[in-house]
Amino acid sequence: VPAGGAATRPCSTRAALQGINKPVIDRIIRVDHAGEYGANRIYAGQMAVLGRSSVGPVIQQMWDQEKDHLKKFNELMVAYRVRPTVLLPFWNVAGFVLGAGSALLGKKGAMACTVAVEESISDHYNNQIRTLMEEDPEKYKELLQVIKQFRDDEWEHHDIGIEHDAEATPAYSVLKTAIQLGCKAAIFLSERI
Amino acid sequence: VRCQHYPPLRALQASAVLRGVSDEHKKEPFTSSSQQQFDPHPAGHQPEQEPQGPHPSYTGQGGQESEDYESEEQLQRRILTAALEFVPEHGWTAEAIAEGAKTLGLSVAAAGMFHSDGSELILHFVSECNAKLSELLEKEQKLVQLGEAEKKPTDEFLRDAVEARLRMLIPYIEKWPQALSVLLLPRNIPSSLSLLTSMIDDIWHYAGDQSTDFNWYTRRAVLTGIYNTTELVMLQDSSPDFEDTWRFLENRVADAMNMSNTASQVQSTGEAVVQGLMGAAVTVSNGGIECLS
């Protein structure tokens, strides 16, 4: 047992990597990392515009949770030796622009964006949970726990958005569909590139 | 007609044919017509002893495999490993593979399993070197974790890892340019690229890289550049024990470290400048307001 606890991570990597379906886990962690990174940037964009408004604290709280999610995926990424998506710099800008843009439509607009994104993410996490359950629930227990927890958190954000009159946004369904299409494309690309 | 590509024979049949003379299984029922593709040259070579490695026991066409079953892949690897000894003399060619097969007590027709340009031999060699490097780095890491060795600073670690890996080429250095050109054949590029990237990723992993942003790519790109250029320098180097190469390597790694330091310095200077300008703008606008009042 090594003396310094912090040094154990590279050692445990080899153990973590034994016998797992690397291509599948790679994709899952890469796309989830990209998703949380994008979500962070979206909330950052919304805060930039609406930070001082009445929904500021609500957005800040959701943003803080996303920061925790991102931190967890950073750890998983190192543990499983997964490469991040090349598109990160792009999601950096695109996320911020989406957040700020939706916030410029007003508080309801920002909430509508939140609802759309969080619904997409929850669906996506559910798909991943199904995939992992089909593979081997025992082997991927830790990962499954993490994804289930995060899916619940994202669905909570979705509900908060609904509570704050997201559906009252003008052109709500158009906005929602457009954003969800963008999310699907982002997921598709981040899994592969 | 010697066939370069042959349909995947059951290893049983392939091994049996290659052995030329087989002892207790001469009456092995060969049903496959692909036997014709081989031109077995037993060359009167009676294996005095069983070749090293798992003793294959033939259990018939049924497919039930015993524990000593040696897969075709394992056999190929054994042949290629044995062939490496003959590379300095024959180059990365079918001759080297044939010689290797002979030392294992197999027929020289074994070389027919592989491409005549030595692609598989070279790729096998690269993959073996990478595996050796990984083992070496893993061992070093264990020593550091047990407190028996000091953790090296990043530049020293990278330098040592690249040097260790390149030193594995030394016995084959004369024939290495030929190998490089074969690795660059379009057919081989996916494999050679994948071997290169996984080696570089391994080195960074053991160096303690934990980046999860775009740095992941820049670091690997930079190290790949360092590795490739140093390899080319090594091919031209005639200094004792390649000291010129290691000095070149040291300079390139130092350059890379400087680059990253410069980049972060530029960033902090930039931020400071922006703050200065903002302050100036605020002062000016306040001064302007005071003028008006």
Model pLDDT for residues B5-49, shown as the tens digit of each residue:
444 444 444 444 445 444 444 444 444 444 444 444 444 444 444
> Is A138 part of a structural domain of the chain?
yes
Closest alpha carbon to B113 in B102, B99, B97, B124: B97
Q: Are residues B147 and B262 in the same domain?
A: yes
Interior angle at CA A127, CA A126 and CA A131, nearest 5: 115
Could you tell me the residue range of the domain that residue B83 belongs to?
A: 72-116
Query: Is B214 an 8 Å CB contact of chain A?
Result: yes
Q: Are residues B134 and B270 in the same domain?
A: yes
Q: Are residues B78 and B151 in the same domain?
A: no
Q: What confidence tier does B4 reach under pLDDT thresholds 50, 70, 90?
A: very low
- Quick one: CA torsion of B45, B47, B53, B56, rounded to 10 degrees? 100
- More confident of the two residues B63 and A110: A110
> Is B255 part of a structural domain of the chain?
yes
Q: Are residues B93 and B164 in the same domain?
A: no
**Count of positions (residues) in chain B:** 293
Chain B closest CA to A186's CA: distance in Å?
17
Q: What is the pLDDT of residue A30?
A: 95
Query: For B125-138, how does the pLDDT look when each residue is reduced to its tens digit (9 = 90+)?
Result: 999 999 999 999 99
Q: What confidence tier does B116 reach under pLDDT thresholds 50, 70, 90?
A: confident
Domain boundary residue, one of B116, B147, B168 = B116
Question: Which residue on chain B is closest to A81 by alpha carbon?
Answer: B205
Q: Is the pLDDT of residue B50 over 60?
A: no
pTM of the model: 0.77
Interior angle at CA B262, CA B259 and CA B263, nearest 5: 85
- The tokens for A62 are 């959701």
Average pLDDT of span A124-139: 92
Query: Is B150 an 8 Å CB contact of chain A?
Result: no
Q: Are residues B102 and B91 in the same domain?
A: yes
> Is B172 part of a structural domain of the chain?
yes
Query: For B62-72, how does the pLDDT look when each residue is reduced to its tens digit (9 = 90+)?
Result: 445 555 677 88
Asked if residue A42 lies in contact with residue A96, where contact means CB atoms within 8 angstroms, the answer is yes
Q: What confidence tier does B290 reach under pLDDT thresholds 50, 70, 90?
A: confident
Q: Are residues B82 and B98 in the same domain?
A: yes
Residues of B in contact with A86 (CB under 8 A): 214, 217
| Backbone φ, ψ for residue B147 (5° rounding) | 80, 10
Q: Are residues B123 and B248 in the same domain?
A: yes
> Is B92 part of a structural domain of the chain?
yes
Distance CA B256, CA B221 (A): 11
Residues 6+ apart with CB under 8 A from A36: A66, A69, A70, A73, A150
Chain A closest CA to B78's CA: distance in Å?
25
Domain boundary residue, one of B94, B116, B138 = B116
Query: For B247-286, how does the pLDDT look when each residue is reduced to its tens digit (9 = 90+)?
Result: 999 999 999 999 888 888 888 888 899 889 888 888 888 8
Q: Are residues B91 and B142 in the same domain?
A: no
Distance CA B53, CA A144 (A): 42
Q: What is the pLDDT of residue B293?
A: 65
Number of domains observed in the structure of chain B: 2
Q: What confidence tier does B205 reach under pLDDT thresholds 50, 70, 90?
A: very high
CA distances for B5 relative to B37, B39, B107, B113, angstroms: 10, 14, 18, 7
Q: Are residues B235 and B271 in the same domain?
A: yes
CATH of the domain at A60: 1.20.910
Record: contact A8-B141, CB cut-off 8 A: no
> Is B272 part of a structural domain of the chain?
yes
Record: contact A78-B141, CB cut-off 8 A: no
Number of domains observed in the structure of chain A: 1
Asked if residue B11 lies in contact with residue B52, where contact means CB atoms within 8 angstroms, the answer is no
Q: What is the pLDDT of residue A9?
A: 46
Domain boundary residue, one of B81, B116, B151 = B116
Record: contact B217-A86, CB cut-off 8 A: yes
- First-last CA distance in chain B: 102
> Is A4 part of a structural domain of the chain?
no
Distance CA B213, CA B211 (A): 6
Query: Is A77 an 8 Å CB contact of chain B?
Result: yes
Distance CA B263, CA B267 (A): 6
Q: Give the number of C-alpha atoms closer than 13 A to the C-alpha of residue B35, restricted to the C-beta side.
A: 14
Closest alpha carbon to B229 in B245, B212, B209, B205: B245
Q: Give the number of C-alpha atoms closer than 13 A to the C-alpha of residue A147, restricted to the C-beta side.
A: 26
Residues of A in contact with B201 (CB under 8 A): 81, 83
- More confident of the two residues B288 and A156: A156
Question: Which residue on chain A is closest to B207 by alpha carbon?
Answer: A10
Q: Are residues B95 and B125 in the same domain?
A: no
Query: Is A17 an 8 Å CB contact of chain B?
Result: no
Which of A75, A78, A82, A85 should we substitute to test contact with B (largest number of B Cβ atoms within 10 Å)? A78
Query: For A164-190, how does the pLDDT look when each residue is reduced to its tens digit (9 = 90+)?
Result: 988 888 899 999 999 999 999 999 999
Amino acid at A160: I
Q: Which of A3, A4, A81 sits opposite B205 (nearest CB)?
A: A81
Q: Are residues B146 and B268 in the same domain?
A: yes
Interior angle at CA A146, CA A142 and CA A149, nearest 5: 135
CA distances for B40 relative to B79, B118, B192, angstroms: 16, 21, 32
> Is B285 part of a structural domain of the chain?
no
Query: Is B49 an 8 Å CB contact of chain A?
Result: no
Helix, coil or strand: residue B23: coil
Could you tell me the residue range of the domain that residue A183 belongs to?
A: 20-191
Q: Are residues B97 and B231 in the same domain?
A: no
> Is A75 part of a structural domain of the chain?
yes
> Is A46 part of a structural domain of the chain?
yes
- First-last CA distance in chain A: 38
